[in-house]
Structure 1
Amino acid sequence: MEDAGGIELQITAADDQEPNSSNDVSSVNNKLHLPKLIHYRWWLRVTCYMLFLLSGQSAATLLGRLYFDKGGNSKWMATFVQSAGFPILLPLLFFFTTSTISTTAINLISSSFANTPKGPQLSTLTFLYIGFGVLLTGDNLMYSYGLLYLPVSTYSLLCATQLAFNALFSFFLNSQKLSPFVLNSLVLLTASASLLAVNADSEKPAGISRGKYVIGFLCTVGASATYSLYLSLVQLSFEKVIKKETFSVVLSMQIYPSFVATCGCVVGLFASGEWRSLENEMKEYKEGKVSYLMNLIWTAITWQISSLGMLGLIFEVSSLFSNVISTLALPLVPILAVIFFHDKMNGLKVMAMLLAIWGFLSYIYQHYLDDLAKSKASLTSENELTGVQLETG
């Protein structure tokens, strides 16, 4: 986006230096082609973020189920790995931060001679990172309780309510319009997750009391609402507080809150006393010690990949769109389970997949209509500006 702005600035400067008709026509043609370049770059970034989110979330969910199924029982450890993989993003943050030092220096110099708005203060960013980190700690812990105490069917159904919560928060906090295609997408994706829930065993897991079942139920609903609030607040922070359009900003919003959440999990792990049972848990893990460690390591990595994709979609589109893509992964998990765990595929799972794809395309089509409307409005304004320039020239 910065490169595109530089190109447009150069085109404008060329127009000012040579005000003749041929240069005006060339300038207009360059400007008309420029939105297409930006458009393709935007879709490329969005596609990459979608792949990160879908692959990361699907893999992390499967690994999380494998952890509990093979003998893992620590809720704080399951919460810890959801944020502890942030160090793998530090090289990316260093690379993208150093690559934009010159641009930042130029912006600082220009802002000293003009009334250019500066970035947020360090204290403001620190407050945001700590607040989001604490919010993620509580949210991840509630999800861990839900995954431990609920069957997969009920857990998936309750996770689908995240869409409804996010639509509500996006409407009030982010001025997100709920068009018919968006509402259709929400209904279809929720129905897809509901079919998966109906298809699975809805009874309480063996050894889980009714009290723990209720705790898992309430924690999962609370986690869905909390994460939806988190997504909307992150989008609001990008728009109102940070006001920057760089990849390093997205990385920072992932790394620093994850660091705070990881510290919170370490405190919880020691305060609860669960750290004493980790050694025995590793010894008694059904697949062995190496598999136990590899499960935790790869769960941490895949959650970071998923979170990076989620934040990237919030940055490029909206929190509601990122949530829609996240819900698309719910029917993908059973498909992957068929491949890796040899689960059976039946008609309900196929129907759930088709509904999810339909809902996904519905939301994509709505965004295409919005993008088309913006392009027409931009083209109209360019034509009006060109007509004025030719008349005055």
Structure 2
Amino acid sequence: MDTVKRKYLMIFNCILLAIGATGGPLLLRLYFVRGGKRLWFASTLASAGWPILILPLSVSYIFNRRGSAENGREKFFTITLPLTIASASIGLLLGLNDYLYTHGVSLLPVSTSTLIMSTHLAFTAGFAFVLVKQKFTPYSINVVVLLTVGAVLLGLHSNNDKPVNQSSRDYYLGFFLTVGASVISGLLFPLAELVYTKAKQSLTYSLVIEMQIVTAVVASLFCIVGMLVNNDHKVSTYSEFSYITLFNSSAS
């Protein structure tokens, strides 16, 4: 892939990331504000978009199989068993992260939860230094200091943005749950980088997508199991969404 294609692919990924990072928390908070109660169901949706990765993976397979056929070696899946196990382990952490974040958002305003989650950059820098020996730079140190101080100040002034009729206990529970999600989120990227570094095979586009699919599938299964254990699936979906629709209609 030449430099121009890489640049356009990076821009496209940045656009998708911006849409998800801004729209996701707003929709999730709106769900709980309008009467949603299904924490595990909402957590499952955080990783349930993995089937869309099948499309670019299929395109990659088509080109790879053409090249492999010309070279006399045709291979469908490129991911190995050790990489599958490593990706599945990261998926378990991602599923836990999805639940902690969803539960935290259900108890906090979007502004507060977003600011807390932004501290994952600081945790990412710390874990990257420990796991993959990535050195600190003046920019990363600046991010760590500013975001840490911001989170501390937010905790000290938490009563100013506490939702109406919410107890301090629930607010602080949401605060610490979101901090936990931020810590795990900061660990995920260095772990993935460590897996890439330790992989005893060439790192290709297809391999990265396959690993992401395994990670997202395991995260979704983790949340689905939690949904079954906590009987979250027995909540009447029709009545819940009917209530939300009625609420939205009356509000408008």
- Using the size of structure 2 for normalisation, the TM-score is 0.82
- Conservation of the 8 A alpha-carbon contact between 1:143 and 1:223: yes
The 10-residue stretch of structure 1 (173-182 or 138-147) with the greater mean CA deviation from structure 2? 173-182
2: distance between equivalents of 1:50 and 1:192?
A: 25
**Is residue 2:132 matched to residue 1:174?**
yes
**Is residue 2:230 matched to residue 1:272?**
yes
2: distance between equivalents of 1:98 and 1:257?
A: 23
1: distance between equivalents of 2:124 and 2:155?
A: 20
- Conservation of the 8 A alpha-carbon contact between 2:79 and 2:207: no
Corresponding residue number in structure 1 for 2:92 = 134
Corresponding residue number in structure 2 for 1:310 = none
Corresponding residue number in structure 2 for 1:161 = 119
2: distance between equivalents of 1:180 and 1:90?
A: 39
Number of aligned positions between the proteins: 245
- Conservation of the 8 A alpha-carbon contact between 1:134 and 1:261: yes
Change (3 A) 1:182 1:210: closer
For the residue of structure 1 that corresponds to 2:11, the secondary structure is: helix
Q: CA-to-partner distance for each residue in 1:278-309, whole Å, 9 max, x for gaps? A: 422122114579x9xxxxxxxxxxxxxxxxxx
For the residue of structure 2 that corresponds to 1:205, the secondary structure is: coil
1: distance between equivalents of 2:72 and 2:131?
A: 31
**Is residue 2:59 matched to residue 1:100?**
no
Change (3 A) 1:214 1:197: closer
Provide the alpha-carbon RMSD of the alignment. 3.3
Corresponding residue number in structure 2 for 1:239 = 197
Change (3 A) 1:190 1:59: farther
Query: What is the deviation of 1:175?
Result: 2.0
Q: Which residue of 240, 243, 246 corresponds with 1:284?
A: 243
Q: Identical aligned pairs, as a percentage? A: 33
- Conservation of the 8 A alpha-carbon contact between 1:154 and 1:197: no
Corresponding residue number in structure 2 for 1:252 = 210
1: distance between equivalents of 2:178 and 2:100?
A: 6
Kindly provide the amino acid, as one letter, of the partner of residue 89 in structure 2.
G
The 10-residue stretch of structure 1 (79-88 or 211-220) with the greater mean CA deviation from structure 2? 211-220
- Conservation of the 8 A alpha-carbon contact between 2:122 and 2:143: no
Corresponding residue number in structure 2 for 1:34 = none
Corresponding residue number in structure 1 for 2:30 = 66
Query: What is the deviation of 1:179?
Result: 1.7
- 1:15-30 map, 5 Å: none
- Conservation of the 8 A alpha-carbon contact between 2:46 and 2:98: yes
Corresponding residue number in structure 2 for 1:44 = 8
2: distance between equivalents of 1:106 and 1:190?
A: 54
Q: CA-to-partner distance for each residue in 1:220-247, whole Å, 9 max, x for gaps? A: 1111111111111111112221643432
Q: CA-to-partner distance for each residue in 1:307-365, whole Å, 9 max, x for gaps? A: xxxxxxxxxxxxxxxxxxxxxxxxxxxxxxxxxxxxxxxxxxxxxxxxxxxxxxxxxxx
- Conservation of the 8 A alpha-carbon contact between 2:79 and 2:210: no
The structure with the largest helix share of the pair is 1
2: distance between equivalents of 1:277 and 1:213?
A: 25
- Conservation of the 8 A alpha-carbon contact between 2:125 and 2:140: no
**Is residue 2:206 matched to residue 1:263?**
no
- Conservation of the 8 A alpha-carbon contact between 1:133 and 1:256: yes
Query: What is the deviation of 1:88?
Result: 2.1
Gaps of 5+ in 1: 2-36, 110-118, 292-393
Kindly provide the amino acid, as one letter, of the partner of residue 285 in structure 1.
I
Query: What is the deviation of 1:45?
Result: 3.0
- Using the size of structure 1 for normalisation, the TM-score is 0.54
**Is residue 2:11 matched to residue 1:53?**
no
Higher alpha-carbon Rg: 1
Higher relative contact order (CA 8 A, sep 6+): 2
Kindly provide the amino acid, as one letter, of the partner of residue 263 in structure 1.
L
Query: What is the deviation of 1:197?
Result: 9.5
2: distance between equivalents of 1:125 and 1:286?
A: 44
Q: CA-to-partner distance for each residue in 1:76-105, whole Å, 9 max, x for gaps? A: 111011011211221221221231124456
